[in-house]
Each structure stands twice: as structure tokens, then as C-alpha cells.
Structure 1
Amino acid sequence: MTELTPRLTELAHAHGVATQFWDWQGRHTEVSTQTVVAVLAALGVDVADEEGVERALAEAELRPWRRVLPPVVVTVQGTAPEVPVHVARGVRFEARLVLEDGTERELGAAGQPQTREVDGEPVARVLLDVGDDLPLGWHTVRATCGERTRTMPLVVTPAALVLPEALAGDGAQSWGLMTQLYAMRSAESWGIGDLADLGDAGAWAAGMGADFVLVNPLHAAEPVPPVEPSPYLPTSRRFVSPLYIRVEDVPEVGYLSAAERQLVEWHSDDARAYLDLDFIERDAVWMAKEAALRMIFRQRRSLRRARSFHAFVEREGEGLVDFATWCALCQLHGTSWRQWPEELQDPRSAAVETFREKHAEEVEFHLWLQWILDDQLARVQRDLLDTGMSLGVLADLAVGVHPDGADAWSLGSALARGVTVGAPADQYNQVGQDWSQPPWRPDELAELGYAPYRDMVRAALRHSGGLRVDHVLGLFRLWWIPQGMKPFQGTYVRYDHEAMIGILLLEAHRAGSVVIGEDLGTVEPWVRDYLRDRGVMGTSILWFERDWDGDGGLLDPEQWRELCLATVTTHDLPPTAGYLEGVHVELRHRLGLLERSLEEEQAEDARSREEVLADLRRRGLLREGGGVPQQVEALHSFLTRTPARLVGVSVSDLAGDKRVINQPGTDEEYPNWRVPLAGPDGSRVLLEELFTWRSARRLARTASQDD
């Protein structure tokens, strides 16, 4: 098709595909026909010609009438949900509601049915009287029409997530650390920060009055080199990277022979040698860790430990087995499942089942790694809460997954093909971004009753006091880019945000956790209000908090929103010391990511920074002539004057690091996610050293308002 006709526009809107939008500068933009057609194709809608458009419109209209029950209904507690049943004329039906606890209720009709002709036969639409008194949870509606019985998940979610007691009081504010765990290393680390380092950093922060440690996504990476460095491009969002295991903390180490212990020590010495390098060496570290872990895996387990392992595998079910099978397949066929023999590309195929049986020990090894991770994560969270922290670990949930990864293989049609997720142009990346990740298909998620999404959220919340959702706007709409097109040639696709947010809140409520949405970037005006009303915290970055609806000036601290995590920086900006010196502008210029000249960008950046620093001096938070360390402290002191419930301090700021962690819009052009923690002079800093620094303690006391 060559023209975006009214009927094609109508079809696009019926599937949640935007045909126009407003960019970051407020300019109205029309989406091309080529983009719309490609995105619809990724949603399984063929619109090669006008006849195809008409067929697809008719299908979209009749699809709900052709099924007895919808695929799923997600509602809010206290609201009577609309649950339709579609039955042929003259067919009697019975309906029951089975609550999560097993209690059953008979369901009658509410009001008069509607009737229309479907495929030449009259079909009645009857609304069920479900009531508005349902408890929170995952319930089931069962409808029997003649000899056919159909079921449907009915999910009842909280109207709003209630803050935990420590954050609920008037004026309550808690502070905590924010860290890239792989970069935060100790002398005992095997070349990369691990879960023991997370526990130690949290214990140090707890001693300074901290209530949480927000960590980068710990999602699983590839099981064989090369290991993807970005924690935001994982192979699976449900499972965890074994790179974060502290080998010596695995209980079965105690059963190693003297010779085996010596081998483990040799592997650890090899891995620790990488502490002296300029960049994180994930591949080499994993090869050393994997060799040691395989040795430990072969040791005997006590009856108690064996039962715990089997219970974990049973609880995680098919999803874990699929993940472990994918890992085992990677050992023989590489990490790109789309290059595997065709019979192995389907996780439900007989060939995959045969492989699983033939390589049962290898599959079990990867099951075991996830069990060890689960145990160590649980221990870290338990220890941090025992130190007095009110939240402990705050987990981070990435936007998507690697297109060649385990989730892309095992989740099948739940992820769209032929498109990737990204972001349109914005102030900090003016050519747009392509994150190379396949998005959820909103229609298939509903068909699956949101089970893959629920399982992912549950796993992230299991051993944490809260969850940061990266690009939370993606639960409302995502920027889809058809393959072969540039990032700016994409368009938005909408999701059922009531369902996506509702399920997130239900699982967080059950875990007793907070939810933080990273709501930066291009945001529709109503979205932040919606998230606030449902108890989801936002993310407020000091440099960006301005009166955008007014004169664009700085917000006074008392004007900041209350329900947010307030920070000075984020992983997509340099650490604060680097930002104050403008290293990000020079880097973006060097990488060709600026639309304006270097001089223009530097002048604008300096003007914006000086505006903030002048405001700090006016408030008495920064003395005239104060250097970068004093400016960093003053910026964090400003945060404590806001009503924000959470204040985050980057471990990079504790160290005075200046180097960019990640430069959006780049891949190999910059060593993203490979920069270890360093001091102001660029030399490495280990945790043991950082804990002794007066400057680190002084910044922590500033954030904790401990003068």
C-alpha cells in the first residue's frame, strides 16, 4: 500500500498502532504508510491491499463475538468487571466463578442480552453479574455452553499500592545506594561485582542510615562467551545471571576435596587478575567461574539441600526448564537460536524433548545455577533487612530481551517478530534509539492471560523490597521500529495499561514491595498522574526538574512531587562529577550524536549547570568558589529538601567517578556497561577502599540528613 487511507488508519487504531504523534519539541508528525503496514504485519495483520484492510477490519470487529469468553479480564478491586459470554441462539449456558482459594460462586446474567449475526448465525452477548466484592487475586470464570466449557482468568488488582510503614508517615524520606553491581568490586570478587559485594555495600550503607540498595538488572546473560555486557539487553528477564554468584558462598564448597579446593583457588586467582584491567572482562570471568561451579555442582547434597533444589525446580516449572534447556542447547549450537537446526527452534518440539533427555545433566546444571542464585539473593535481602533497612534490595526490570535469547526462544508468539523496541529522538539522543529488542505483542499477552508477564514480575519481586521498572512508559506504549528502518521511522503501539499496571501492583502488593517507574523521556501528560494515583513512584532527576508547563525555570524543592525516587544522576548520564565537567557533551560530539555544534551544546550545557549551581548558592547549600566535590554534596543536600519519599545516591558519586557508564545510541563505539568503579583520577576503587573514604561517608551523611 502506498497511501495511509482513512480505513487503514481506522485499522491501525483498532490494533493500538499510532498514525501520528508529537515529538520531544512539540512538533506534529505523521507516520508513514510503510511503517504502519510493517507494524501491523508484526501484529499478524496482513494489509497488502485495500481488500486486506477491509477483511482485517471485519475480523477485528467480529473476533470478540466469535469466542465464548474474552481471553482475560483484569479489573480493580471494588469495581464490578464487565465479563461477556457469547452464545449461539437457543444454547443454554451456565457460568461459575472459581476464586483463587477454591471457593466457587454461581454467576447469573446482568441485564438484557445483545444479539447480532456472526458468520450467518445469530449470537447473543450476555454480561455476567460478577459483583464488586471480589478479593484480590487470580480467579477463574468457567462458562459451559451446551457441551463446551471455556475458562478465563479474572484478575482483581489493587486500586493503588500502599506505601510500606517506613515511607508512609508525613514527611518520611529514606535514602539508599544506587549501583551497577558488576562494576562495584571487592578484593574477593572474581573480577566482577557479585551478590556478596551487594550485601557488603548494603551493610555499609545501612550503618549510615540507608534503607535500600537499588541495583542494575541482574537478568540472565548468555551461558557461553561472548557475554552481552548490557544488563538492559538480557537473554531472559525472569532468570538471573550466574556471573553474580559468589562461588565460595555455595554450601557444597565444603564437600570439595583438597585437590578440588586448590583448583577452585586457581580459577579464582585467574579471575581476580582481571581486577587490574581498565574494563570489565565478563567472558574471561565467566569461564573461570563456570569451571569452578561445575566442579561444585558435582558434589553431593544433603537431603535438606536436595529437597530444597527439587522444590525450587517444581515451583518454577516449565519456564525454568525451558531456560535451562536453552542454556544447554547454546553449549552445542551457539547462542543465536534462529541459527539452530529448524527442529530445535521450537521449544515444544519432539527434537527439543529428545535433546533434554539426552543432555539431562547439562540441563540440571543450569537449573542448579538458578537455585544457587535464588538462595544467595534471598540471603542478601534477609541480611539487609536484619541490618535495619526497611526495603533492602530494590531490583531493576529491563525494558526487553535479546532477540536471540532464551525468552525470545521460549515465549514464542508472545514477542513480536520483524520489529524492535527503541525510542524516538529526544534532547539527549537526537537521532533516536534502536534497542534491538522484540516487544511484547499486546494481543498475544492477553491470549496468554498475561502469564509470562506475571511470572517475570513475580521473579523480580521475590527477594526484593521494591522494583524499578525501566521505561515504565512501555507499559502504556512502546516505540516499534520495523526491521530495516531507522529509529525515527518507527511509531507507537499501545498496550492495555490498566492490565499491565494492575498486574504489576497485584504482585508488588503480595510481595510487600514498592514500585518505582522510570518515567523520563517523552511522556503523555496524563500518564504521570495515572501512575501517581495508583501508587507507583516516579523518577525525578535533579537536572530535569523544571516548570515545563510554565517558564521552564527550576522547581523549588518543595514543588517536587512526593511519590518519587529523587536522584542527581542516572546510568544514562555521567556520574555527577563528570556531568559537572561536561564530559557527556564532549563524548556525544565525538560519537556523532549531536545535531547542533559542539560549541552550541557546550554553551547550553554550561548555562543549564550554572543555573542550578547559582540556585544552590542562593539557598546557602554551596559556598562561592566551591569545587566539584562540594558541588556534588550540595546537589544531594538539595534532594533532602524535597518531599521525595526516596533519595538515591550513586556509588559512582561516592567514589567521585567521572566516566560515562552508558551512552545511549551507541554499541561498540563506546565501552558501555564495561567501566569498573573508579576514583576522580580514573584509577580503580575497590569496596574495601571506598568504605574508608571520608568523602564517601560525608556524602552518605548528607543524603541521610545526618549533620
Structure 2
Amino acid sequence: PDPVHLRVEEIPEFAYLTGAAREEAGTLLTRAAALREAVLRHGALIDRDAVWELKRRALELLRAVPASPGRRAAYATFLAEGGQALDDHSTWCALAEAHGPDWRSWPAGLRDPRSARTARARGELLDRVDFHCWLAWLTDGQLAAAQRAARDAGMRIGLVHDLAVGVHPSGADAWAQQDAFAAGMSIGAPPDAFSPHGQDWGLPPWRPDALAATGYAPYRDLLRGLLRHAGALRIDHVMGLFRLWWVPQGHEPRRGAYVRYDAEAMLGVLALEAHRAGAAVIGEDLGTVEPGVREALAERGVLGTSVLWFEKDYASGENPEPLPPERWREACLATATTHDLPSTAARLTGDHVALRHRLGLLTRPLDVEQREDAADVARWLAVLGRLGLLPEGPGDEEGAVLAVHRFLLRTPARLVGVWLPDAVGDRRPQNLPGTWDQYPNWRLPVADASGRPLSLEELVASPRLQALVDEVRALAGAGPRVGTGVDRPPRARGPHAGPII
């Protein structure tokens, strides 16, 4: 977890600020409110760097407040449990403050985490190293509190954490574990119908030989950390446990090749750690999936991901018909979309095709793409109408979004997901694969159907969101029932394990 997400006012030491420190904290809060105002009222993008600058200074003020004996003891315990991994992470953070965020451009001796020069620098920057250890402790504590609050509120799963497909090449993981990652390579995806040019994600891949030589320790420790305060884990591009598309740096994605991993070992470690944590596992198995992968995952109780627009009867002809709900697989999270796909409102209106055209991502004429997309949407709306799931009638966008979720809840899927932008009618994708600086990925605030950004308070009060949540709750029936680990598939009372929002 990233300390940029800390709620500073909830840290106990905040209440004990006095004098000039209290006044400065008030000034920082005012500046933070101005950042929110710029996003909510003036359409600015989310500026995480600016947010972090304010929070970092506020946290430095809090660190100067003497802690209680109990909190000092808890911090000491956290340091002992964190060990070398925590020390490496915090050392990287301190060095990044001094030399910039890309360790590959640091002075030669500092590029090696085990060098004598790095050891000296760690001593010289000991106060900043300890500051970043302290931030990790605070973040871990607030994450644990969030999971407790979710469980206390009746959520049987609570937090669902996400395992990304890779790490940033200039970040702390790549610096501290250089032997575990393949230098000069990047992972991505070969050309397919969704991304005709292929994809290069700019992330270094695990080295299969290095993982095996260490008994999969880096992978195991990663899973253990993610599952520390989670009721479930979603694994991005879960096919990467079997093979990954490696792209030589400087080359186009189509010049890459698949590199295989020991899937039995990767799945075995995953099953063991999930069982120990009592957590369910959801794999994002979308895109190019080789034969046998979904079966191997299902055998170990790992749920797949089924997205409405992709679930079709591909044996029905050149223009495959939507797959009837009763024919969907049971061992999956069923959802209308994901963070990498258009929102349902964008799909219904065709806005996503126009956006990809503006950014030069289409490989066919715009009118061809628009006709095919409109025909696909029309087929789905016809199915929803025939099943009696669209009583609002044609032309009602909010009704169609409700109908899509009514359809999902008719499938035997153990979990049904609701994408927050779908709940308020946002038409902009949060992430657009195939773009780098052409689109503001992950910097757009959630907005309503008119494109107006919404605050958290407005989201909670949204009548459109409430209507969708009420519909999902009513149709989900018994609510979530999830098993204790991936070695035993979760069972549900009735057809659904319940919604994830």
C-alpha cells in the first residue's frame, strides 16, 4: 500500500499537534481542499504528486510528536516483522529523495542494494529510512482497520486486494530484487482483436530460473504481504502464472515471444498462501488464454473473470450470439466491465469507439467499427428485452445498465462485480490499454453521466448508485458466502456468492 492514501487526520498523533505545527497542519489542510476543489469544480486531473507533497509534510509534523509507549512498542514489532524487505523498501525511498526516482540513474555504487556504498548511505540517511518505515507501519495499520470495519459491517470478504502483473522498472522492488527480474525485457501481450498492435506494459518480468533457485521466495513473500489484510485477491493477467509475453526493450510488441513458468509451482505457492490467509482468489483470465489454463485454475478453486460483452456462443456462426445466462461458468466473477474496458454507458452509446478513433488506436475505418459495435450492443439489448430484464424499455440508458446487472445475477457465477463508474453513468475509461501519454490513465476522477466529477459524499448519495445497489442486493438474495482458500472452491447458498462493488 502507498502512504499517499493515508488519512492523516486519523493518525493518533494528529490530535496532539500544538503551536506552530498545528497552524502549519491547518494550512496544509486548506491547500488540500483547494486541490479537491480544482478536481471537483474545475475539471482538473488528479495530481497525486501534489497530494503527496502536502501529506508528506503533514506526516513529518506528526512524526515529531512523541508517541505513546504502546505505539512505540507496536512500531518496534512491525520493524522486526518487516525485516530486510522493509529495510530495502525504505532505503530505496530515502535514496530516491536524494537522487531521483529512477535507481538506474543513481551513482554506480547505489545501484546495488548490497554494496558498501549503499550501506554507508543507509547510515547517513537513517532518519529518512526510519521515516519511510514509519509510513509503512501507518499504512499497514489503516489498511487493517479498513478490513476490520468491512467485516464488522457484515462484509464476509471485505477488502479485495490486487496483484499487478509486474513492478515498475525504476521502483523499489526492481532495485532490491534485481536478480529476480529479467533485465532488458518488458512484458506485454501479442496483437489480438482488442489491441491489434499488441501491448508493451513496460514492466520487467520475473525470471523463472531465479524464482526456482530461491524456492519462489520473492513470489511467496509478495503474496503473503498482499493477503495480510485481505478477504480475497484479484490477480491481474493470471495467465502470467503459466507464461508471459516478453518484449525486448526497444522493439514492437509483435516482436516478442512467450516465456513459460512452472505453473504447478506458481499455483502451489498461491494455493498455500491463500489457504493460510483464509482468502479467495480471482484470476483475470481475459484476452489470449491458452488451452488448459482455465481448467487448471478451476481445479484449484481460483475463480475466473467473465465480462458480459465477451461471453458469446462462438459456435453459433460468424456473428456469435450472446451466451445465455444459464450457460455461463459458475467458478467466476461475472462483471459488465473492468478497469481496462469501457464503462457500460460508453459501450451503450459507442463513446469508446469514438475515443479510440481520436487517439489513433483503430486499425479499421471508423464507420466499420461503429457499425459492428452498434450491432453487438443491439444484440445484447434484444436478449435483455426477451428475458424481461429491460422493463424500462429501449432508449433508457440507466435502465439498460440495470438490465445488464440483472442479467449477470441470473448466471451461476459465484461473485458478481459492480464497476463504480457504471453505478453513476461515467463514460470515460479509467485506463486505456495501448496509451501512454495520449490519455490520462488513472488520473480521472469518477464522474456522473454528464462528466461532472463527484466527491465521495456525492457518490454515496447518488440516487443512480443507490438504485443499482438496491437492485443487486435484492437479486443477490443471501449475500456473500466465500470459502477459506483456493484449495476448496467457495460455495454459495443459492446461485450467487454475492456482489463485489
TM-score, length basis structure 1: 0.65
8 A contact 1:520–1:539 mirrored in 2: yes
Q: 1:415 aligns with which of 176, 181, 186?
A: 181
**Take 1:397 and 1:425, find their aligned partners in 2: how far apart are those partners?**
24
Name the structure 2 match of 1:380.
Answer: 146
8 A contact 1:575–1:652 mirrored in 2: yes
Name the structure 2 match of 1:472.
Answer: 238
Matching of residue 570 in structure 1 with residue 330 in structure 2: no
Name the structure 2 match of 1:57.
Answer: none
Q: Which amino acid aligns with 2:376?
A: S
Matching of residue 661 in structure 1 with residue 430 in structure 2: yes
The residue matched to 2:84 in structure 1 has which SS?
Answer: helix
Matching of residue 271 in structure 1 with residue 37 in structure 2: no
Name the structure 2 match of 1:598.
Answer: 366
8 A contact 2:13–2:65 mirrored in 1: yes
Name the structure 1 match of 2:197.
Answer: 431
User: Shift of the alpha carbon at 1:263?
Assistant: 1.3
8 A contact 1:243–1:286 mirrored in 2: yes
Matching of residue 254 in structure 1 with residue 23 in structure 2: no
Describe the superposition over 1:170-214 as per-residue Cα deviations: whole angstroms up to 9, x where unpaired: xxxxxxxxxxxxxxxxxxxxxxxxxxxxxxxxxxxxxxxxxxxxx
8 A contact 1:640–1:705 mirrored in 2: no
**Take 1:548 and 1:510, find their aligned partners in 2: how far apart are those partners?**
39
User: Shift of the alpha carbon at 1:681?
Assistant: 0.8
Q: 1:516 aligns with which of 282, 285, 289?
A: 282
User: Shift of the alpha carbon at 1:646?
Assistant: 0.6
Q: 2:170 aligns with which of 387, 398, 404?
A: 404
Name the structure 2 match of 1:546.
Answer: 312
**Take 2:119 and 2:340, find their aligned partners in 1: how far apart are those partners?**
42
Name the structure 2 match of 1:641.
Answer: 410
Name the structure 1 match of 2:379.
Answer: 611
Q: 1:580 aligns with which of 340, 348, 358?
A: 348
**Take 1:410 and 1:690, find their aligned partners in 2: how far apart are those partners?**
40
8 A contact 2:425–2:449 mirrored in 1: yes
User: Shift of the alpha carbon at 1:255?
Assistant: 2.2
Q: 1:452 aligns with which of 201, 218, 223?
A: 218
Name the structure 1 match of 2:389.
Answer: 621
8 A contact 1:476–1:496 mirrored in 2: yes
Matching of residue 682 in structure 1 with residue 451 in structure 2: yes
**Take 1:262 and 1:637, find their aligned partners in 2: how far apart are those partners?**
52
Name the structure 2 match of 1:78.
Answer: none
Describe the superposition over 1:451-487 as per-residue Cα deviations: whole angstroms up to 9, x where unpaired: 1111110111100100000000011000000112100
**Take 2:420 and 2:30, find their aligned partners in 1: how far apart are those partners?**
26
Structure 1, unpaired ranges of 5+: 1-239
**Take 1:549 and 1:478, find their aligned partners in 2: how far apart are those partners?**
28
Q: Which amino acid aligns with 1:542?
A: L
Name the structure 2 match of 1:632.
Answer: 401
User: Shift of the alpha carbon at 1:574?
Assistant: 2.0
**Take 1:698 and 1:302, find their aligned partners in 2: how far apart are those partners?**
46
**Take 2:438 and 2:362, find their aligned partners in 1: how far apart are those partners?**
15
The residue matched to 1:458 in structure 2 has which SS?
Answer: helix
User: Shift of the alpha carbon at 1:272?
Assistant: 2.0
Name the structure 2 match of 1:504.
Answer: 270
Aligned residue pairs total 468
Q: 2:5 aligns with which of 241, 244, 259?
A: 244
Describe the superposition over 1:218-247 as per-residue Cα deviations: whole angstroms up to 9, x where unpaired: xxxxxxxxxxxxxxxxxxxxxx21111000
Name the structure 1 match of 2:89.
Answer: 323
**Take 1:381 and 1:574, find their aligned partners in 2: how far apart are those partners?**
29
Matching of residue 532 in structure 1 with residue 298 in structure 2: yes
**Take 2:245 and 2:179, find their aligned partners in 1: how far apart are those partners?**
19
**Take 2:471 and 2:243, find their aligned partners in 1: how far apart are those partners?**
38
8 A contact 1:575–1:660 mirrored in 2: yes
The residue matched to 2:202 in structure 1 has which SS?
Answer: strand
**Take 1:380 and 1:593, find their aligned partners in 2: how far apart are those partners?**
39
The residue matched to 2:229 in structure 1 has which SS?
Answer: coil
Q: Which amino acid aligns with 1:558?
A: E
**Take 2:430 and 2:102, find their aligned partners in 1: how far apart are those partners?**
27
Q: Which has the larger radius of gyration?
A: 1
1:549 and 1:506, CA in 2 relative to 1: closer, same or farther beyond 3 A? Answer: farther
**Take 1:380 and 1:599, find their aligned partners in 2: how far apart are those partners?**
47
**Take 2:146 and 2:351, find their aligned partners in 1: how far apart are those partners?**
35
8 A contact 1:573–1:579 mirrored in 2: no
**Take 2:315 and 2:65, find their aligned partners in 1: how far apart are those partners?**
63
Describe the superposition over 1:240-297 as per-residue Cα deviations: whole angstroms up to 9, x where unpaired: 2111100001111122114322211211221221223221011111111110011111
Q: Which amino acid aligns with 1:529?
A: E
Describe the superposition over 1:364-393 as per-residue Cα deviations: whole angstroms up to 9, x where unpaired: 000000000000000000011001110000
Which 4+ runs in 1 deviate beyond 4 A? Answer: none
**Take 2:271 and 2:464, find their aligned partners in 1: how far apart are those partners?**
38
**Take 1:549 and 1:297, find their aligned partners in 2: how far apart are those partners?**
63
8 A contact 2:8–2:59 mirrored in 1: yes
Name the structure 2 match of 1:392.
Answer: 158
User: Shift of the alpha carbon at 1:654?
Assistant: 1.5
Q: Which amino acid aligns with 2:120?
A: T
Q: Which amino acid aligns with 1:269?
A: T
Matching of residue 291 in structure 1 with residue 57 in structure 2: yes
Q: Which amino acid aligns with 1:685?
A: L
User: Shift of the alpha carbon at 1:341?
Assistant: 0.8
Q: Which amino acid aligns with 1:521?
A: G
**Take 2:22 and 2:250, find their aligned partners in 1: how far apart are those partners?**
52
The residue matched to 2:267 in structure 1 has which SS?
Answer: helix
The residue matched to 2:339 in structure 1 has which SS?
Answer: coil
Name the structure 2 match of 1:691.
Answer: 460
User: Shift of the alpha carbon at 1:619?
Assistant: 0.6
The residue matched to 2:418 in structure 1 has which SS?
Answer: strand
8 A contact 1:253–1:296 mirrored in 2: yes
The residue matched to 2:406 in structure 1 has which SS?
Answer: helix
User: Shift of the alpha carbon at 1:549?
Assistant: 4.7
Name the structure 2 match of 1:181.
Answer: none
8 A contact 1:268–1:289 mirrored in 2: no
What is the aligned-residue identity percentage? Answer: 52
8 A contact 2:321–2:379 mirrored in 1: no
Task: Report matched runs for 1:78-477 at 5 Å.
Answer: 240-275=1-36, 276-277=38-39, 278=43, 279-477=45-243
**Take 1:549 and 1:456, find their aligned partners in 2: how far apart are those partners?**
40
8 A contact 2:25–2:58 mirrored in 1: yes
Considering Cα pairs closer than 8 Å and 6+ residues apart, tell me whether 1 or 2 has the greater RCO.
Answer: 1
**Take 1:694 and 1:537, find their aligned partners in 2: how far apart are those partners?**
32
The residue matched to 2:209 in structure 1 has which SS?
Answer: helix
Q: Which moved more, 1:463-472 or 1:579-588?
A: 579-588
The residue matched to 2:321 in structure 1 has which SS?
Answer: coil
**Take 1:517 and 1:548, find their aligned partners in 2: how far apart are those partners?**
22
User: Shift of the alpha carbon at 1:550?
Assistant: 4.9
**Take 2:256 and 2:29, find their aligned partners in 1: how far apart are those partners?**
46
**Take 1:242 and 1:690, find their aligned partners in 2: how far apart are those partners?**
23
The residue matched to 1:399 in structure 2 has which SS?
Answer: coil
User: Shift of the alpha carbon at 1:663?
Assistant: 0.8
Structure 2, unpaired ranges of 5+: 478-501
Q: Which moved more, 1:424-433 or 1:543-552?
A: 543-552
Matching of residue 705 in structure 1 with residue 474 in structure 2: yes
